[in-house]
Structure 1
């Protein structure tokens, strides 16, 4: 009996010591844990796979002990995918809590209204917190990767500030922006008033992109929309400089010349009737709304006043007088 008693005491002490040592370990700083270190747990990763990803990032986490800690705390199946930031002095326990709560490290990127796809792709390529899966792909290849039946994503991404999980792929971000724009476009098309001169929702999106490039002034958008809608209705050419500039592409040096207006491209609305074949920029929601709700106006012309606003005219004579006044310094 004495032997059994001693064995039980020894076993109890051993378990207590082991438990104490395990508790101590769970709250000790992890070797390699420094500020700004990040690692990514891929979707579908098991706890042990997550530990391997931590080890690859430079964290000396012992897989068996970490798995035991997770089971002991009831968090073994609760880890969430994402990118996690480590702080100096991070412990196994605090790290496990992050994984279980999904406290991922996020960054943001802004798609500015009026940007072209080329401008946004340049911003994506330069963002240090993204995985650049789209780099080297053509616009049509990106659309194909996302399962979109489009040759280009121009105008198809909704301008906004997007939060994203650090080290996630830029294709995921593009897909979100494309989905957001499509949802807004579908909603506007379903609620469109009668009489608009668009055969498809895509044509309305093209119009919205032109409005976006023609004015940034909130109160002028619906009036700019009215001018172009009125022209479409009577078969008058749109004659809008931003479409010509877009058609010139990287050859445009910032100075629009008469020869440019006379040189035919699919986007030259001086030489071709109707809307250009694709949007020319990423329109914001205000421009999209204006395309579907143009002002009640008979204006066919407008000219910049020089203060950011525009003067709208119904006749060519009135327009010429406005051009002389606002652009040539006449009275």
Structure 2
């Protein structure tokens, strides 16, 4: 009997503690779900900081759990030291158990960055510089970036797929770039498998170079296959590509917005007026549509095209026809 008198209070206390534990852990944090406040955990911050924020969220949404209770529950569940840094969206009418699980799994608010089509490495760095990332790629030139990301090419130019990418705040730029490069390889290899016969490319990389030129030369999506036909036909003759975007790329920061006759005559590795064949590397990011066009040109024997001024192009087969089109759409303006 004496033993029972000693044990009974302990059993009652244990029952009360268990009831409190279950009630607090599995009840909703708050009553309202009109807003979804955010909770931020910085590197090195512990359960006390998390508990304070969750208690404030609960109070603002009709709940009544204290920071001390939340911190104790985090300790009792073994989660207190497992919370991952980042910014989280918290639904007030969610239980602490679910919230703890979210923080342990690191289900942070997804943030997005858009890498556009037809942009250079320099422009990609400018886009990434505005994102909430750890800027570990800003000092890389095209060769250094390729080496840092283990890209099997002399340059990172064109080796990043243009798309929208989710990232966690503070994530390294190189991590996003690796995902973008891996996606480029998947897209390029898939299109390579569906390529037309008798193309003047030996490798997918050469096709990607052509795709980047098509991307920069095309103002209207429906023209891509015809622009591709012009350049593919020229490579087969052979005839120089003579494409202005490649000259502009070769000029780098010296390009001030206008291309001159002297620029076309000034030799660089990317000047397709002075050099035969493709450029040494891509000159910009290329969309799937441009990659597909490079690998599936229109069945046409066109050799020339000129911009009409509305985004579309006039395609011709002979130099005489081309000169007439230039006179009609360019010189008369």
User: Which residue matches 1:179?
Assistant: 182
Q: CA deviation at 1:186?
A: 1.8
Once residues 28 and 287 of structure 1 are traced to their aligned partners in structure 2, the CA distance between those partners, rounded to angstroms, is: 51
Q: CA deviation at 1:57?
A: 9.8
Q: SS of the residue aligned with 1:269?
A: coil
User: Which residue matches 2:241?
Assistant: 238
Alignment of 1:247-258 (within 5 A): 247-258=250-261
Q: CA deviation at 1:267?
A: 0.6
Q: CA deviation at 1:168?
A: 2.2
Q: CA deviation at 1:81?
A: 6.3
1:107 to 106, 111, 130: 111
Q: CA deviation at 1:311?
A: 0.4
Once residues 261 and 57 of structure 1 are traced to their aligned partners in structure 2, the CA distance between those partners, rounded to angstroms, is: 65
Is the counterpart of residue 66 in structure 1 residue 74 in structure 2?
Answer: yes
2:129 to 111, 125, 131: 125
Is the counterpart of residue 306 in structure 1 residue 314 in structure 2?
Answer: no
Q: SS of the residue aligned with 2:6?
A: helix
User: Which residue matches 1:295?
Assistant: 298
1:318 to 317, 321, 324: 321
User: Which residue matches 1:46?
Assistant: none
Q: CA deviation at 1:80?
A: 8.9
User: Which residue matches 1:193?
Assistant: 196
User: Which residue matches 2:40?
Assistant: 38
Is the CA contact 2:89–2:109 (under 8 Å) kept in the aligned structure 1? no
Q: What runs of 5+ residues in structure 2 fail to find an aligned partner?
A: 30-35, 53-69
Q: CA deviation at 1:177?
A: 0.9
Is the CA contact 1:38–1:57 (under 8 Å) kept in the aligned structure 2? no
Q: CA deviation at 1:248?
A: 0.7
Assess, with a 3 A threshold, how the Cα gap between structure 1 residues 141 and 58 changes in structure 2: closer, same or farther. farther
- Two-structure CA RMSD over aligned residues (Å): 3.1
User: Which residue matches 1:11?
Assistant: 10
User: Which residue matches 1:44?
Assistant: none
Q: SS of the residue aligned with 2:77?
A: helix
Q: CA deviation at 1:149?
A: 2.8
Once residues 10 and 158 of structure 2 are traced to their aligned partners in structure 1, the CA distance between those partners, rounded to angstroms, is: 71
Once residues 289 and 112 of structure 2 are traced to their aligned partners in structure 1, the CA distance between those partners, rounded to angstroms, is: 22
Q: Deviations over 1:242-292 (max 9, x none)?
A: 001001111111011111111111111111111110100001011100001
Is the counterpart of residue 224 in structure 1 residue 227 in structure 2?
Answer: yes
Is the CA contact 1:66–1:92 (under 8 Å) kept in the aligned structure 2? no
Once residues 314 and 232 of structure 2 are traced to their aligned partners in structure 1, the CA distance between those partners, rounded to angstroms, is: 17
Q: What runs of 5+ residues in structure 1 fail to find an aligned partner?
A: 41-51
Alignment of 1:52-63 (within 5 A): 53-55=44-46, 58-60=49-51
User: Which residue matches 1:274?
Assistant: 277
TM-score, with length taken from structure 2: 0.82
Q: SS of the residue aligned with 2:5?
A: helix
Q: SS of the residue aligned with 2:331?
A: coil
Assess, with a 3 A threshold, how the Cα gap between structure 1 residues 287 and 193 changes in structure 2: closer, same or farther. same
Is the CA contact 1:208–1:291 (under 8 Å) kept in the aligned structure 2? yes
Is the CA contact 2:84–2:104 (under 8 Å) kept in the aligned structure 1? no
Is the CA contact 1:227–1:298 (under 8 Å) kept in the aligned structure 2? yes
Q: SS of the residue aligned with 1:327?
A: helix
Is the CA contact 1:157–1:177 (under 8 Å) kept in the aligned structure 2? yes
Assess, with a 3 A threshold, how the Cα gap between structure 1 residues 136 and 56 changes in structure 2: closer, same or farther. farther
Q: CA deviation at 1:151?
A: 2.6
